[in-house]
Amino acid sequence: MKFSVFHILLLLIVLFPSIVISQGGKESFFMKEDFNNLDNWGSLYFPKIKKHTSYTIETNGSERYLKAESTASASALVYKREFNVHEYPNMRWRWRVENVYDKGVSGTKEGDDYPLRIYITFKYDPQKASFLEKLQYEGAKLLYGEYPPHSAINYVWANKENTQRVVTSPYTSKTKIIIIEKGTNRIGSWETKEANILTDYRQAFGEDPPAQAGIAIMNDSDNTGEGSVSYIRFIEVYR
């Protein structure tokens, strides 16, 4: 029996559902999350933060989207699968916020809250670490049971107008905050954003990232003590 190109593509999609080939053949996807449910996501809680952000699926007619609501709280959703950022460097998403934080100030511990963050975390590789890094990460593994990320960037909707695009986290230099949207001008409207993860990582850290990456979402307000409601319609990661 001879197999046509159609049959081969169909077989690939059935066997490897994370790979979706577009009709134009120009984009292949690691991830197309439309938030029909939260089956692909797990919850992440922080030891010293007792109040958690609420993440639910909301519907409006035929549309579904993620609703994130925080009140002096913080927790995150983590995508259950990792991807190779060198193979899938592009990301696109659609988000909306109902308000920003009056006390939120990028780069400060007391103001380090955002109504929406999309994290890209990069996996620590012991084989590529220096001797000192190995000691630090082995100690962290003994304490937490697993290695922490090598580094991270997070795309945020900032609370105030800011001339900087890239800000270092006030907690660690291994995390860079990339301001994609800021202020109140577009509050309440759906905004579609695009990013090249490799380009942004190189701009933020001045080097190439580790290959293996993960995705997380967070709405946090534990530092400011305020509250917000925000939404994500979809997230796509593709070539």
Show me where the domains of the chain are located.
33-238
Residue-level pLDDT at 145: 80
Per-residue pLDDT of 78-87, as tens digits, reads: 999 999 999 9
Residue-level pLDDT at 133: 86
A 10 A CB-CB count for 44 gives 15
Residue-level pLDDT at 147: 84
Residue-level pLDDT at 125: 84
Give the right CATH number for 33-238 from 1.25.40, 3.40.50, 1.20.120, 2.60.120: 2.60.120
119 neighbors 152 (Cβ within 8 angstroms):
yes
Residue-level pLDDT at 20: 40
Within the chain, what is the greatest distance between any pair of CA atoms?
A: 67
CA distance 31 to 63: 18
What stretch of H or E contains 138?
helix 131-144
CA distance 200 to 206: 9
DSSP strand pairing (151-158 vs 175-182): parallel
Q: Taking the model in full, what pTM does it have?
A: 0.84
**Which residue ranges of the chain lie beneath pLDDT 70?**
1-26
Q: What number of residues does the chain have?
A: 239
What are phi and psi for residue 5, nearest 5 degrees?
Answer: -60, -40
CA distance 157 to 154: 10
CA distance 4 to 11: 11
Residue-level pLDDT at 14: 33
